[in-house]
Amino acid sequence: MRSRFSAYALGGYGDYLLKTWFAPMAKGLTAEELSEQGLQWVSLEVLGSGVTDKQGWVEFKATYREEGKTHVLYEKSVFTLSGDHWLYIGGEIAPAL
């Protein structure tokens, strides 16, 4: 989760984001699109995580700036273990806590 956040925050790492995405769920996404730095990501706070067999989840809040305003994204991301790599399946965005 932290490495994916860093890739978004730094921009230019669309190839990495695609490699860490569960391929069937990344349909239609391109490295170029994912490399664009549209938002200014400020911080990441992991609120919880867990693993059951080959499935895992991470609940987090990420702070970002857009058009001069600060916003917070709350998400529970789901991952699957493929070999020795965790791949992002998707996430459920939650309303602000």
pLDDT band at 6 (very low <50, low <70, confident <90, very high): very high
70: which residues sit within 8 A by CB, 6+ positions away? 42, 63, 64
CB 25 within 8 A of CB 90: yes
pLDDT band at 26 (very low <50, low <70, confident <90, very high): very high
Rounded distance between C-alpha atoms, residue 63 and residue 79, angstroms:
21
Query: What is the average per-residue pLDDT within 15-25?
Result: 96
Q: Which residues of 65-89 are buried (b: 16+ CB within 10 A; e: fewer)?
A: eeeeeeeebbbbbbbeeeeeebbbb
pLDDT band at 94 (very low <50, low <70, confident <90, very high): confident
pLDDT at 96 over 70: no
pLDDT band at 97 (very low <50, low <70, confident <90, very high): low
Each domain of the chain, given as residue ranges in start order, spans: 2-94
We find that the CATH architecture of domain 2-94 is Roll (3.10)
